[in-house]
Chain A
Amino acid sequence: MALRDTHVTMAHGGGGRAMRDLIDEVFTSVFQPPGSEDQARLTGTALQEPGARLAFTTDSFVVTPLEFPGGDIGKLAVCGTVNDLAVGGARPLWLSAAFIIEEGCEIALLRRIVATMAAEADKAGVRIVTGDTKVVERGKADGLFITTAGVGVIPPGRDIGAARIRPGDVVIVNGVLGDHGAAILAARGDLALSTDLASDCAGLGHLMQAALAAAPGISAARDCTRGGLASALNEMAAEAGLAVEIQETALPLRPEVVGVCEILGLDPLYLANEGRLVLFCPEAEATAALAALRSLPEGRDSTVIGRASQGQAGRVTLRTAFGGARIVDMLVGEQLPRIC
């Protein structure tokens, strides 16, 4: 082992020996990209099917703390990009990963994060085929930032997207909402929260494939990340030109999450998730879709929460337990009090 340092220094970004050692030992030895060129050369039979389409996405990940109950930034970086591909109907195949490391970052931590990434990639059936590292001076980054890009293949004949949602489609989520956001808040804030809350972070590639196989009529899906379910539904309703109504009593919420939200005055509909998707499917296929989703662990708690309809285009409403309909908005920056 050539790498003896315990923390990353500026030398690790200098382009010399130290950098070579860091990359070799921490990254390439784990990810095992094909070849030594600074590019991945990919072959895949899936690509050659007539009518198949390539899906390509990228995302950057920043989170404090870097490790939290239920995952770490590496898991987020793999799952996030895998999920972006999956909800578009693609089978995720390859990822790139770029790391911006703050001087002083602990190398053991880096190793742990890289290990999770490799494990998650394995689970998701994707390979991390190329990457990059940069080291920046102390204070110029918050520990570690990761950017991943992903490539997947959409099989011939598959075309899902918000524009395909039809009135009457039911809305399904694959499990309890807001766990990630609440877990991060609890882990970050030194809040006196004695909860077992863990991030819901998970790759949803297999889940999505299973759902599509059982319910090929699925019109659209989206992962509910930053901005929560509320933002995902608002985007989809706007693109579909339809109204969407969800039922308060049908929302899957963990009592701990409800409790944290009560105290902090947060709305679980806006809490971030990292292993949750929302999908729309024709009512006739809802049972099949649910069964397929529930057959996998990451979809065990899947449930129908609402429905799309004609009505004011882009409006998402929450039918409350008392029967009223509250408008669920897109989050406009920070949510400031409005009660006067």
Chain B
Amino acid sequence: MNAVVIRVRGQVQGVGFRPFVWQLAQEFGLTGRVWNDAEGVGIEAAGPGLDGFVAALTARAPKLARVDAVEVATFGGALPPGFEIAESRGRGAETRVTPDAATCAACATEIRGTGRRQGYAFTNCTHCGPRFTILNGLPYDRAQTTMAAFPMCPDCAAEYRDPADRRFHAQPVACPACGPRLWLEVAGQDMPGDAVALAADLLRAGAVLAIKGLGGFHLACDAANPVAVATLRHRKYRPSKPLALMAQEAALQGVVVLSGADLALLRDPAAPIVLAPSRQILPEVVAPGMAELGVMLPYTPLHHLLCDAFGGVLVMTSGNLSGEPQVTGNAEAREKLSGFADAFLLHDREIARRLDDSVERSTPPMVLRRARGRVPGTLALPPGFGTAPQVLALGGQMKGAICLTKNGQALPGHHLGDLDDALCADEFGKAVADYRALFDHRPELVAVDAHPGYRATQAGKAMGLPVTEVWHHHAHMAACLAENGWPLEGGNVAAIVLDGTGLGPDGTLWGGEVLLGDYRGFERRFWLKPAPLIGGDKAAREPWRNALVRLDQAGLPDWADALFPGRPRDLARQAAAKGINAPMSSSAGRLFDAVAACLDICAEGQSYEGEAAMRLEALTRHVPDQGCGYDLTLHGTEFDPALLWPAMRNDLRHGLPTEVIAERFHAGLGQAFAGAARQLVESGAAQAVVLSGGCFQNTRLLSAVEAGLRGLPVLSHRLTPANDGGLALGQAVVAAARSLGGAESR
């Protein structure tokens, strides 16, 4: 009889892979054994159905598994009479933990049935449930999770031990007899009755609820009730930032237009917030000025029960104090959210790790915030990086996120928020420790942004390891290259990097660049003509400042005077002239702000980062391509927006709708940058064009640039954020590439 040893690589632990193998073995009549080890899953097997068995390992793998490789070799050893699930082998076995996964169909059915888990908010199985958010330590087993506080009852224990059961080795398995408890609390009182039904009643009555979720608290209210939404906004000091929504699929269909791709993404076990076109049914206050809404499906049994009982669409925004990350503990919630929430829907399973909801888009595919459901997950490094050292990259400032590399893999961490916030800074320290443990990582190199004021940079320099400083926009470019698998020796690319601000090697702040280079190095070939940022970061909060400097620069100070009569223009101009806290910047983000301010969009201030640009983009939603973007003349190496302003002013005077003006701006910006990049490819200097930086979350800009690059190889972000959330991956590969030596190819 031909016995074989099979090695399965990929994300195959903690996802029900061994019971799946056991069941397949029964089906195909095999004898042998299966086990977990440091490399994944190992199988020794023999029997008539071997070929079908091997094929099924990939074809029918559990939903949460990702099979990267199945290697088969002959086996000469002895096999047991039946098929058994063996003990884990070797050090490092079962150290991997998979991302938290949305409630599976079987569990969703079970809680609506009549069994012992009917209506039970903490139902889960091997194919779904909490993972990373309940992990306290490694290896990942129940004792090391926040489920350790709930000893299994005999029924649950039997399911846990039975390879034929879908709860075989599901660490958080629970039922009402042994698991976490849910209750509704009003003014410190645990209310008698069905917590979910009470919560739904309160929501229907217009109340704001604090709900303990998977990775943190949400604040919820009835999205269709403008008074409730306004109350939530007022209490949270969140005047206009779009609020995320949650509902069952049918209810979501009523408020947004969902494509097949949107539905597939919504139903993914990661259950991200998906941006989809609004039907303009919900009150404007849910997402003022936006053409899209962020929607998600219920992803825990608690959410399912609540959405079923409520019926409509819920606002589900993170429960936090302004500027802080979301609250995770019950006591913390009572302390911080009692001013926001009329009632608390609480449970007694602790959240070990704060994870925000991921935010994604299906078409074009992009990740705007990488968090719950996506972490921890690895990404294969491109060819050429196999022997790279273990790098710890520490990311940016406002959208903190780290990234580790090891054995040809990258492990990008989750969104941590603004590291100036004390809780986020704590979370940063914890993330470094967490991911190092998960990856059994011993960093040889630390990679940081070159900006000395980034907290992550300061932390990196204090680690006592060799530090590689990476220029902000080089990191953006490299991140995009890496996620697209561009080989280390793939040659030079032209990178259009458009974002807010990042420190450039010349000491000014960049943000509207065309770079030419590779993983190791780069040169700046074209850039947006710099203008002063009056008041430094203040310029990013008050768009009128950017309009003022750009109009003055273009010789139209009178228009600025007319547009912003109530602003301290004289002082601002003097600060710019004398260079008092007015550093020069080629930021494309600030150019968006300037255009928005001229159209009276957020001129005086933005209540959240990127508001002006997002509103500008939203205006273009239903405008067809005009075919004549505003001219951003390329003078030598600088794109000069001087002609943009008089053209805009002229269009306004002729009564052109702001929607059309917004479109012409997007088109012009796209044409200009695409044209310069095209030139680098067509001259043979570059092999492809890379699009990175936070501005490329703007789909109108993305399509305008792509239109200008038609026919050329274009790399853009799909798996990692184009914004600073993706910086760490870029930092890691730049540091790795430099350490691997070799010449810069320029």
Asked if B520 lies at the interface with its beta carbon under 8 angstroms from chain A, I say no
Interface residues on B, range: 35 or more
Contact of A340 among B322, B458, B502, B574 (CB under 8 A): B502
Q: Roughly how many angstroms separate A327 CA and B572 CA in the complex, as a whole number? A: 28
Tell me if A323 and B421 are in contact (CB < 8 A): no
Task: Please state if A338 and B539 are interface contacts (CB–CB under 8 Å).
Answer: no
**Inter-subunit contact A189/B501 (CB<8 Å):** no
Are A323's CB and B336's CB within 8 A?
Answer: yes
Which A residue sits closest to B320, measured CB to CB?
Answer: A324
Query: B609's closest neighbor in chain A, by CB?
Result: A339
A37 within 8 A of B: no
CA distance A266 to B537 in the complex (A): 9
The reply to whether B585 and A337 contact each other, CB–CB distance below 8 Å, is: yes
Q: CA separation between A333 and B76, bound complex, in Å?
A: 68
Minimum CB–CB distance for B276 against chain A, Å: 26
* Distance (whole angstroms) from the CB of B315 to the closest CB of chain A: 20
* Cα–Cα, bound, A322→B235 (Å): 10
A321-340 CB contacts (< 8 Å) to partner B: 322-327, 329, 332-333, 335-340
A190: chain B residues at CB < 8 Å are 574, 578
Using Cβ atoms and an 8 Å threshold, which residues of chain A touch B503?
A: 336
CB-based contact A326/B537 at 8 Å: no
B509 touching A336, Cβ below 8 Å? yes
Bound-complex Cα distance A335 to B724 (A) = 20
A264 interfacial by beta-carbon distance below 8 Å: yes
Bound complex: CA of A191 vs CA of B694, how far in Å? 35
Greatest chain B CB density within 10 A among A263, A329, A332, A340 is at A340
Contact residues of A between 254 and 304, Cβ < 8 Å to B: 262-266
Q: Are B397 and A192 in contact (CB under 8 A)?
A: no
Number of A interface residues at 8 Å Cβ cutoff, please give it: 30
A320 within 8 A of B: yes
- Name the interface residues of B561-607: CB closer than 8 Å to any CB of A: 568, 570-572, 574-575, 578, 580-581, 583, 585, 589
**Does the CB pair A192–B574 fall under 8 Å?**
yes
> Which residues from chain B contact A109 at a C-beta distance below 8 Å?
none
Q: Find the A residue at minimum CB distance from B457.
A: A332
Q: Report Cα–Cα, A333/B453, bound state, in Å.
A: 9
B452 at the interface (CB under 8 A from A): yes
Q: Are A338 and B398 in contact (CB under 8 A)?
A: yes
CA distance A300 to B488 in the complex (A): 66
- Chain A residues with CB under 8 A of B539: 265, 337
Instruction: Check A332–B453 contact: CB distance below 8 A.
Output: yes
Does B324 make an interface contact (CB < 8 A)?
Answer: yes
Query: What is the chain B residue whose CB lies nearest that of A340?
Result: B500
The answer to the question of A163 belonging to the interface, with a C-beta cut-off of 8 Å to chain B, is no
Given the known A-B contacts A335-B536, A340-B724, are A264 and B578 also in contact in the complex, defined by CB atoms under 8 Å?
no
A326 to B397, CA, bound (A): 13
- Is there contact, CB below 8 Å, between A337 and B572? no
With beta carbons under 8 angstroms apart, the residue of A191, A265, A322, A327 that contacts B322 is A322
B537 x A337 contact (CB < 8 A): yes
The answer to whether A336 touches B499 (Cβ under 8 A) is: no
Q: Is B425 interfacial (CB-CB < 8 Å)?
A: yes
Asked if A326 contacts B323 (CB within 8 A), the reply is yes
Q: A332 vs B724: C-alpha distance in the bound complex, in angstroms? A: 21
Assuming the contacts A325-B324, A338-B451, A339-B540, asked whether A263 and B458 have C-beta atoms less than 8 A apart, the reply is no
Which residues in chain B, 314-362, are within 8 Å of chain A measured between CB atoms? 321-324, 336
Complex interface: chain B residues within 8 A of A332 (CB): 452-453, 458
* B568 x A263 contact (CB < 8 A): yes
The answer to whether A253 has its CB under 8 Å from any CB of chain B is: no
> B182: CB under 8 A from chain A?
no
Which of B421, B426, B581 contacts A264 (CB under 8 A)?
B581
**Which residue of B is nearest A333, CB measured?**
B452
The residues of A that contact B583 with a CB separation of less than 8 Å are 336-337
Q: Would you call A323 and B321 a contact (CB within 8 A)?
A: yes
B723 at the interface (CB under 8 A from A): yes
A338 touches B575 (CB 8 A): no
Q: Which B residues touch A327, using CB under 8 A?
A: 419-422, 425, 455
Q: Is B371 an interface residue (CB 8 A)?
A: no
In the assembled complex, B535 has its CB within 8 A of some CB on chain A: yes
**B-side contacts of A185, CB under 8 Å:** 580
* Docked-complex contact A320 and B323, CB < 8 angstroms: yes
Instruction: Map CB proximity to A onto B509-550 as digits: 1 under 8 Å, 0 otherwise.
Output: 101000000000000000000000111111111000000000
- Residues from chain A with a CB closer than 8 A to the CB of B499 are 340
A322-B323 in contact given A338-B501, A339-B609, A340-B398 (Cβ < 8 Å): yes
Query: Once the chains bind, are A192 and B321 in contact (CB under 8 Å)?
Result: no
Q: Which residues of A contact B589 (CB under 8 A)?
A: 340
Which residues of A sit under 8 angstroms from B536, Cβ to Cβ?
Answer: 265, 335-337
The verdict on A265 contacting B694 (CB below 8 Å), with A185-B580, A191-B574, A322-B321 known, is: no
How many Å lie between the Cα of A323 and that of B319 in the bound state? 13
Complex Cα spacing A45 to B286, Å: 75
Q: Contact check, A324 vs B321: say whether CB atoms are below 8 A apart.
A: yes
Distance A335 CA – B539 CA, assembled complex (angstroms): 14
Contact with A along B617-648 (1 / 0, CB 8 A): 00000000000000000000000000000000
Q: With an 8 A cutoff between CB atoms, is A250 at the interface?
A: no
B251 contacts the other chain (CB 8 A):
no
Residue A315 is within 8 A (CB to CB) of chain B in the complex: yes
Q: How far is the CA of A190 from the CA of B573 in the complex (A)?
A: 12
Pairwise interchain contact B397-A263, C-beta atoms closer than 8 A = no
A317 within 8 Å of B (CB atoms):
yes
Query: Are B421 and A338 closer than 8 Å at their CB atoms?
Result: no
Q: Which residues of B contact A322 (CB under 8 A)?
A: 237, 321-323
Contact assessment for A323 and B575 in the assembled complex, using a CB-CB cutoff below 8 Å: no
Q: Which residue of A lies closest to B507 (CB)?
A: A336
Q: Which residues of B contact A213 (CB under 8 A)?
A: none
In B79-119, the 8 Å CB interface with A consists of: none
User: Smallest CB-CB separation from A266: which chain B residue?
Assistant: B581
User: CA separation between A322 and B337, bound complex, in Å?
Assistant: 12
Whether the pair A193, B425 counts as a contact (CB closer than 8 A) is no
Partner of A338, one of B323, B454, B571: B454
Is B423 an interface position by the 8 A CB rule? Answer: yes
Instruction: Please indicate the chain B residues that have their CB under 8 angstroms from the CB of A340 in the complex.
Output: 396-399, 472, 499-502, 511, 589, 694, 723-724
Q: Are B574 and A189 in contact (CB under 8 A)?
A: yes
Contacts of A264 in B (CB 8 A): 535, 538, 571, 575, 580-581
Which residue of chain A has its CB nearest to the CB of B397?
Answer: A338
Q: Which residues from chain B contact A320 at a C-beta distance below 8 Å? A: 322-323
A179–B583 Cα gap in the complex (Å)?
24
In the bound complex, residues from chain A placing their C-beta under 8 Å from that of B323 are 320, 322, 324, 326
Contacts of A262 in B (CB 8 A): 538
A332-B458, A338-B397 known; A263-B451 Cβ under 8 A: no
Select the residue from A264, A265, A326 with max chain B CB neighbours within 10 A: A265
Q: Looking across the interface, which residue of chain A has its beta carbon closest to that of B322?
A: A322
Asked if A189 and B580 sit within 8 Å, CB to CB, the answer is yes
Complexed CA–CA distance, A339 and B397 (Å): 8
Contact with A along B477-503 (1 / 0, CB 8 A): 000000000000000000000011111
Q: Of B324, B425, B535, which contacts A263 at CB under 8 A?
A: B535
Task: For A192, list chain B residues within 8 Å (CB).
Answer: 570-571, 574
- Set of chain B residues within 8 Å of A338, measured between Cβ atoms: 397-398, 451, 453-454, 501, 537
A–B pairs, 25, beta carbons within 8 Å: A191-B571, A262-B538, A263-B535, A264-B581, A265-B534, A312-B426, A320-B323, A323-B321, A323-B322, A325-B324, A325-B421, A325-B422, A326-B323, A327-B419, A327-B420, A333-B452, A335-B453, A335-B536, A338-B398, A338-B453, A339-B537, A340-B398, A340-B499, A340-B511, A340-B724
Please report B residues at the A interface, Cβ cutoff 8 Å: 237, 321-324, 336, 396-399, 419-423, 425-426, 451-455, 458, 472, 499-503, 509, 511, 533-541, 568, 570-572, 574-575, 578, 580-581, 583, 585, 589, 609, 694, 723-724
A residues apposed to B, CB below 8 Å: 185, 189-193, 262-266, 312, 315, 317, 320, 322-327, 329, 332-333, 335-340
Given A265-B581, A337-B539, A340-B724; 18 other pairs, CB 8 A cutoff? A192-B570, A193-B571, A265-B536, A265-B539, A266-B581, A320-B322, A320-B323, A324-B321, A327-B421, A327-B422, A336-B536, A337-B501, A337-B533, A337-B536, A339-B398, A339-B540, A339-B541, A340-B589
